[in-house]
Amino acid sequence: MVLGLAVMLWVAGFDVIYACQDAGFDAKMRLHSLPARFGVARALKMAALCHLGMVAALAAVPSVYEHFGPVYYLGVAAIAVLLIYEHRLVNPDDLTRVNRAFFHVNAVVSIGLLVVGAVDLFL
């Protein structure tokens, strides 16, 4: 459940970032996306809150699955740094780097979490 919460918040956060590119279209078509409803700047803040919750949930995983230890916590810290980088790539006034944030950073986060979890379990 805790890991599922982390994944849900992660996906919600990067989906909001990606949706910022369509804010104008969504507003014009009366779609109810967060960027259309609240504006790109506020939507990006909501995405950051989702990612903060994700990191908190990942940090809580060892409290319910005691097999993870120091390597896992280092991986969670690295993921936090990657998410900070992702949010620095995207700016409400310049969404040209959304694809880098969305595809490249999230690929490293997903593979990184798998590798860190596997390494920690086998040490």
Q: Is 31 helix (H, G, I), strand (E, B) or coil?
A: coil
Domains of the chain: 2-122 (1.20.120.1780)
Beta carbons of 117 and 71 less than 8 angstroms apart = no
Q: Which two tokens stand for residue 9?
A: 């918040």
Q: What is the spatial distance between Cα 7 and Cα 3, in angstroms, rounded to a whole number?
A: 6
- Of the pLDDT bands very low, low, confident and very high (cuts 50, 70, 90), residue 102 is confident
pLDDT exceeds 90 at position 50? yes
Q: How many helices (H) and strands (E) does the chain have?
A: 7, 0
Q: With contact defined as beta carbons under 8 Å apart, do 17 and 86 qualify?
A: yes
DSSP 97: T
- Which pLDDT does position 92 carry in this prediction? 94
**Cα radius of gyration (the chain):** 16
**pLDDT of residue 101 exceeding 90:** no
The contacts of residue 59 (CB under 8 Å, 6+ apart) are: 73, 76
* pTM (2 d.p.): 0.93
Mean pLDDT of the chain: 95
Q: How far is CA 7 from CA 26, 40, 59, 74, in A?
A: 25, 23, 13, 18
